[in-house]
Structure 1
Amino acid sequence: MHTKVAVLGPAGFGGSYVVSELLNRGSYDVVGISRNPEKLGQHDRYTPHPLDIINATIAELVEAFKSVDVVINAFNPPYGPSVYKTFVETVRRIVIAAKHSNLQYFLTIGGTGSLYLGDPATTHETAADSRPFWLAYRRATADSEAATYHMEERIGFDSPMSQGMRDYRSARQALLTDAGSLSPGRRKVIDDTEKMVTEGLDPIPDIPIAARATFMFFDGNTTFPWSFVSPPAKYIPGPRTGKYEVHIDRVPLAPVSERTKGSENEFEGRLLGISVADLAVAIVDEVEKREKVGKHWSAVAELPGEGERHASYARLS
């Protein structure tokens, strides 16, 4: 008998690979819940369930969950001025619906910002609290063509934010290739971008802050079986290797090396990552093994060449 899994956001970045991984294992029937779940494609064991998640009532979500065993929440709202409110309020309703449904398991995909920078028993600082971490993150994203392209695709190629990311990547590439010949214009792009992170009033976008806030709906909650998955800093399109390493609560970081020891930023060159395909493997493995119930965790794996572009979304045949 197949386990029935609902995926919220089945045609999105993380959700599309989770659906593909579930179906490829052969033992799952999948219900895709979103406004346009049919965009993912067709499969004998994939059932689209059209529902505007952002505007859905708790009763409508309970109804959508009533015939499934497991829910995987890969919901990610569109960018906009009210994205924080939209994200937090939508996840609040999803969590209430999950608590009032007869689910065996509920897994949600959060963000790196909620992971701690040390032992959570002795520190309260998370990745989203640290300007040095966010600066290292911005640089690592800019230095990866796959990460930059995915963010442009996610935000919209024509948006000013996307253009700023592409300009910053170009300037970073020029800096890393030959710092001595860096033009004044590209130097200004780097300085202005990084000053916003190190000195600006609002250095971190609303999406990671909102994702971090939603963790409070789960932390210490024993009223239903949940697991909160936070991708590591480098979460990019890439191939499936099937191999990964799990980290609980903390930001996955490489050890300090001779190369990174002298850096003025303790996170520079130490951010680890995983492809979206391999995180999907880790998530579906958790559906099967249920080893991290009530846990906040991340997973890392070997990444492909970061100068390459990769397909950002999975599609069913």
Structure 2
Amino acid sequence: MKIAVLGATGWIGSTIKQEALTRGHQVIAISRTTNNADDENNVETRTLDLLSQESMTNAVQGADVVIAAIGGRAKGNHDIVPNTARRLLEELPACGINRLLWVGGAGSLEVAPGVALIDTPEFPAEYQPEAKAQGEALALFKASESTLNWVFVSPAAEIFPGERTGQYRTGGDQLLIDNDGNSRVSVQDFAVALIDEAEKNTYKKERIGIAY
């Protein structure tokens, strides 16, 4: 399978890229600038500046599925999140791409009926803009009439650098917690879940949550 990773040089994106390569997939590593570190077997590097109006066609051409792992924290531009979601919904079908896995946030997951994690007093203020942007993106996906088969994949409340166990649980709109009341997943196992879904194509036009 040829998997295009949008945001391939980021923390989550680069982990997804490595998981895909480990399984023998070909990867199109898409980032704003060329990264020589991606000069390896089964990796084709392509550039795309999401802040420009350039077409996505050249960046995603030939991919079987696109995995988007983008965010605006580094440059303080959180509008890039919903704006990119809107563009992908419109442009990927025109490029002949039918599947998108979107790396979302945990803030919009429900901790109680009608109560999102972002609305709880414990939610860190520094992550509010990022979580709101992801919530806007999710709303765009849910309201869209695009033919694109999208899956919005939310990590646990805490995603951290750890180890690859290959173990995880999949939920829906509710925040998954373990027996100790924690919602956690390593970035490595989050990447496992994403590539599993890329291979199995289990979910269609819905949000899923990943946690231990």
TM-score w.r.t. length of structure 1: 0.62
Q: Could you tell me which residue of structure 2 aligns to residue 50 of structure 1?
A: 47
Q: 1:39 to 1:275 in 2, by over 3 A?
A: farther
What does 1:37-116 align with in structure 2 at a 5 Å threshold? Answer: 37-57=34-54, 60-81=55-76, 83-116=77-110
Deviation at 1:84, TM superposition (A): 2.7
Distance 1:213 1:40, change over 3 A: farther
**Identity rate, percent:** 28
- 1:102-121 deviations in whole A, cap 9, x for unaligned? 22411000100121223xxx
Is 1:225 aligned to 2:149, yes or no?
yes
Alignment deviations for residues 52-109 of structure 1 (CA, whole Å, 9 cap, x no partner): 123243xx1133223211100011224445x232322233223321232322411000
Change (3 A) 1:48 1:204: closer
Unaligned runs of at least 5 residues, structure 1: 139-196, 198-202, 256-268, 302-317
Whether the aligned pair in 2 keeps the contact of 1:34 and 1:53 (CA below 8 Å) is: no
Residue aligned with 1:281, SS: helix
Q: Which has the higher strand share?
A: 2
Amino acid at match of 1:274: V
Question: Which residue of the partner structure matches residue 282 of structure 1?
Answer: 193
| Contact persistence 2:171–2:210 (CA under 8 A) | yes
Amino acid in the other structure paired with 1:272:
S
Q: Does 1:10 align with 2:4?
A: no
1:33 is aligned, of 23, 30, 48, to: 30
Q: Is the partner of 2:30 in helix, strand or coil?
A: strand
Which structure exhibits the higher relative contact order, with contacts defined as CA atoms closer than 8 Å and separated by 6 or more residues?
A: 1
Q: For 2:34 and 2:163, how far apart are their aligned partners in 1?
A: 23
| Moved >4 Å (runs of 4+) | none
Partner residue in 2 for 1:245: 169
The whole-number CA distance in structure 2 between the counterparts of 1:106 and 1:43 is 24
Once residues 75 and 15 of structure 2 are traced to their aligned partners in structure 1, the CA distance between those partners, rounded to angstroms, is 25
What is the TM-score normalised by the length of structure 2? 0.90
Q: Is this contact kept in 2: 1:11–1:37, CA < 8 A? A: no
Alignment: residue pair count: 211
- Alignment root-mean-square deviation, CA: 2.0
- Which residue type is aligned with residue 70 of structure 2? F
Structure 2: 5+ residue stretches without partners: none
**Matched residue type, 2:117:** A
